[in-house]
Structure 1
Amino acid sequence: MDKLQAMTTFVRVVEARSFSKAAQTLSMPRSSVTTTIKNLEAQLGTPLLRRSTRSLSLTEAGARYFASCQAILSDIERAESDVSERTNTPRGRIRVDVPGVIGRSIIVPRLREFEARYPDIELVLGLSDRPTDLIHEGIDCVIRTGVLEDSTLIARRLGQLNWLTCASPRYLKQYGEPDSIAALAAHRVVNYLSNATGRPLDWRFRVNGEDVTLSMRSRFAVNETEAYLQCGLEGLGLIQLSEFAASAYLRSGRLKEVLASARCVPVPISIVYPHARATAAMRTFVDWIAEIVGSDLPQ
């Protein structure tokens, strides 16, 4: 049995809290993951995991072994990273999760450039608006908007997002343009559903130096940026989204900003990753992201 592979598999199972999810992140059949853990337990002569149909937890021995495995694998990763840095050829596989609009508009069009500059880095790019758990899903880094709550992660600020209230010419022709926050009561809106809670996000404004949040009733609500944007373009109601997502449509005239004097405070956007994933390849990727995303966002 390859002991390092077994340790890696065990750690990933614990982090993912699932044999199936661990298998997906390791690109292995589930049966291979199960066999590896069984063989590891047999070799160590003690159970490492308590299994049930609904949960997976560590035994006392498993908890000690998990901590040791994390330390060993982290040391190996740092050693390889150090060699890679010294030879100036960062290499490795990085799993990244980013908001769809940033991935499609900025990152994907420049992947050929990334490959030319860093041919030994394999990039697995996930595009979604949903919140992700880096550890449990085996993701190496994510781009997040808003104030960061997890202080255990390394974070690098990329810039900030300005949020606008917009409408299509079709909507404005039919319903007119609101001239104040109070006027919104007579207008139709499309709500954006939080992927974390499933509830509509509040509409945010800043009036006379004070932050204002409103809960708006709507006939339509969606949970994905492209669909949300399309609702606005179709004239289904006012929408509130980042200037970055709306910019091309504002330039073409397919959207118009309303209530510009009541824009809310800009929201920071950052790339974050765990300390254990701070390899040369990761730092190289973060520098590249900061270079290409930062040039397109206000600082």
Structure 2
Amino acid sequence: MDQLSSMRVFVRVVETGNFTRAAATLNIPKTTATNMVQGLEAHLRTKLLNRTTRRVMVTTDGALYYERAVQILSELEELDGTMSKSQNQPTGRLRVEMAGAFADLVVIPNLCEFYQRYPQIQLDIGVGDRLVDYIAENVDCALRGGTPKDQSLIARKVGELRMRNYLSPKYLERFGMPTHPRDLETDHFSVGYLNATAGRIMTFDFCKEDETLEIMPRYVVSVNDARSYVNAAVAGLGIAQAARFMVQDHVQKGELIEIFAEWECEPLPLYIVYPQTRHLSNKVRVFVDWLAKLVQGLKEDEQPTVTLLKTG
């Protein structure tokens, strides 16, 4: 049995959901794919997949084996790349994580330019503001707002997001206009944002001249996703503190109104993070550099919430 080839077939079956699609993507007969996975199960003396006439489901052992197999195949792919003469053209799959709002509004609209430069990189984007086990989930890097607390990660600061405060006409009609940030603690509501890393609702920070405030706002709903956060504010569920690029369309449509314009908010630092234990491969390096330049290249007249920074 060619264990490495069988491992690749197994991984592809898990990712595609059945043997037919897996065989088609690998350009091999379905019977060959089936026999290779069966041979792998016999070699490991455990069942990796449960098969029915309609679907293929991963067993508990199969899920554990899949996670390690993906990591091993990725490392072998990188090893092959470092030994090849094509260092100027990185190849392979790249797994990244980022908030949905940044993916939709900043990264994805610019990905064609990335693929023109690096056509042999296959990009898997995980969207959301959740805790990630970088090693177990085989995540290469992530774009995150806020200062990273995890000391096992290498963090590269690429910018700051200038935060502003917004409410919707629906909220205004029900609760009126707050006149001071302290109103968020007594007479008004915000949309709560649950920070997955800290495990708590984020505070609102305000500054004007010599006065600095940290507000723990009242809320009726909290979320842990940036897009849901903005949508909740549009629905009138509370006041939101957000970066301009996240709400620009809603502001232009009259669905959100900026408030407390005379107050400055603590800017949100933006970092690219990746595990210390993982070799910074060529494909990761070019994506990190591209992403950093993308953030830096946002023009202030188009995205007035971004403070440009130099990176080392």
TM-score norm. by structure 1 comes to 0.71
Gaps of 5+ in 1: 9-20, 42-52, 54-65
* Cα distance change of structure 1 residues 82 and 298 upon mapping to structure 2, 3 Å threshold: farther
* Cα distance change of structure 1 residues 143 and 5 upon mapping to structure 2, 3 Å threshold: farther
Amino acid at match of 1:149: K
* Cα distance change of structure 1 residues 96 and 25 upon mapping to structure 2, 3 Å threshold: farther
* Whole-angstrom distance in 2 between the partners of 1:265 and 1:37: 55
Post-superposition offset of 1:271: 1.3
Structure 1 stretch displaced more, 187-196 or 237-246: 187-196
* Whole-angstrom distance in 1 between the partners of 2:284 and 2:17: 20
* Whole-angstrom distance in 2 between the partners of 1:205 and 1:213: 6
Secondary structure, aligned partner of 1:125:
strand
User: What do the CA deviations read for 1:67-115 (whole angstroms, capped 9, x no partner)?
Assistant: xx99xx96983562363554x2111110111110011112222333322
Alignment of 1:144-155 (within 5 A): 144-155=144-155
Gaps of 5+ in 2: 20-35, 46-59, 61-67, 299-305
Post-superposition offset of 1:201: 2.4
* Cα distance change of structure 1 residues 36 and 276 upon mapping to structure 2, 3 Å threshold: farther
Counterpart in the other structure of 1:206: 207
* Cα distance change of structure 1 residues 148 and 195 upon mapping to structure 2, 3 Å threshold: closer
Could you say which structure has the higher helix fraction?
1
User: What do the CA deviations read for 1:173-206 (whole angstroms, capped 9, x no partner)?
Assistant: 4433222222332113222233346643222323
Secondary structure, aligned partner of 1:249:
helix
* Cα distance change of structure 1 residues 82 and 261 upon mapping to structure 2, 3 Å threshold: farther
* Residues 1:284 and 2:286 are matched in the alignment: yes
Secondary structure, aligned partner of 1:278:
coil
Counterpart in the other structure of 1:217: 218
Post-superposition offset of 1:294: 2.6
Contact 1:25 1:138 in 2 (8 A): no
* Cα distance change of structure 1 residues 152 and 96 upon mapping to structure 2, 3 Å threshold: same
* Cα distance change of structure 1 residues 182 and 107 upon mapping to structure 2, 3 Å threshold: closer
Counterpart in the other structure of 1:240: 241
* Whole-angstrom distance in 2 between the partners of 1:91 and 1:230: 37
Alignment of 1:123-134 (within 5 A): 123-134=123-134
Contact 2:147 2:271 in 1 (8 A): no
Alignment of 1:33-72 (within 5 A): 39=43
* Whole-angstrom distance in 2 between the partners of 1:218 and 1:167: 13
Counterpart in the other structure of 1:11: none
* Whole-angstrom distance in 2 between the partners of 1:203 and 1:37: 54
* Whole-angstrom distance in 2 between the partners of 1:279 and 1:27: 29
Contact 1:101 1:226 in 2 (8 A): yes
Contact 1:78 1:279 in 2 (8 A): no
Counterpart in the other structure of 1:48: none
Secondary structure, aligned partner of 1:269:
strand
Counterpart in the other structure of 2:158: 158
Secondary structure, aligned partner of 1:108:
helix
User: What do the CA deviations read for 1:140-162 (whole angstroms, capped 9, x no partner)?
Assistant: 11111111233443333221112
Number of residue pairs aligned between Structure 1 and Structure 2: 265
Post-superposition offset of 1:6: 9.9
* Whole-angstrom distance in 2 between the partners of 1:226 and 1:80: 37
Alignment of 1:1-299 (within 5 A): 39=43, 77=78, 80-81=81-82, 83=84, 86=87, 88-184=88-184, 185-196=186-197, 199-209=200-210, 211-274=212-275, 276-296=278-298, 297-299=306-308
Counterpart in the other structure of 1:56: none
* Whole-angstrom distance in 2 between the partners of 1:37 and 1:293: 46
* Cα distance change of structure 1 residues 198 and 113 upon mapping to structure 2, 3 Å threshold: same
TM-score norm. by structure 2 comes to 0.68
Contact 2:81 2:91 in 1 (8 A): no
* Cα distance change of structure 1 residues 75 and 124 upon mapping to structure 2, 3 Å threshold: closer
* Whole-angstrom distance in 1 between the partners of 2:282 and 2:294: 19
Post-superposition offset of 1:129: 1.5
* Cα distance change of structure 1 residues 35 and 150 upon mapping to structure 2, 3 Å threshold: farther
Post-superposition offset of 1:293: 2.8
* Cα distance change of structure 1 residues 227 and 85 upon mapping to structure 2, 3 Å threshold: same
